[in-house]
A and B are shown apart, each in its own frame.
Chain A
Amino acid sequence: MSGGPGLRHELNNVLAKIMGAAELALDQPMPDAVQDELRRILAFVENGAEIVRRLDLPASPAGT
């Protein structure tokens, strides 16, 4: 995949992986301070996802 639309897809996948890794880590026992940092990571991912949603990339009907 290449180009703007493909990059949007790839970026969403990267954000999803960061979110997933942080959530799986939160299932493990850990100090409160580490848990707080992981929750901040999740908030940052949400911020990133919102930025991607606002990207005004031209849409094509020929999706794959």
Chain B
Amino acid sequence: MAKVLVVEDDLDLLRQVAARFAAAGYAVETAADGESAVGKLRAGCFDLVVTDIVMPVRDGAEVITTVRQRQPEAKLIAVSGGYRAKAADFLRMALALGADEALAKPFSHDILLEAAHRLLARPPGPLLAEAV
């Protein structure tokens, strides 16, 4: 069973995405901010990390950097609804930092799960970031 960490500061979205991954058969852990996510990444290994970008305390950029430093083979999906910059700008930044895929909010859970399945089926190794 693949293990996924979902990082999202909006608790409704966190619950929804976690529920959808759990229903799809994933073992799910959640973090409601970047600080909590970094702690979980230090404590355990994940096959997949799904992280929001704009979050308090520590943002998604720090989460992505931590994943790439500590668990370089983990797959990583970044999501954003934008803030001061457009969502696409955050998502380009996420890809540049090492995210494998980037999704702009709002997105269908089916799209997210498809991305997760596709990434987890891919063998570990150097990755080419996909354009936003």
Contacts and interface: CB of A to CB of B under 8 A. Distances in A.
Interface of B: 10, 12-13, 16-17, 19-20, 23, 54, 59, 81-87, 89-90, 104-110
A15 B105 contact: yes
B23 A20 contact: no
Contacts of B106: 12, 15-16, 18-20, 45, 49
Nearest to B15: A20
Nearest to B10: A13
Interface string A1-38: 10001101111110111111101100100000000000
Contacts, number: 82
Given A27-B23, A45-B106, A63-B89, A12 B82 contact: yes
Contacts of B90: 63
A58 to B, nearest CB: 9
Nearest to B12: A17
Nearest to A3: B84
A32 to B, nearest CB: 20
B84 A59 contact: yes
Ranked 9 nearest A-B pairs via Cβ: A12-B81, A20-B16, A16-B106, A15-B106, A63-B85, A16-B105, A12-B105, A63-B84, A60-B84
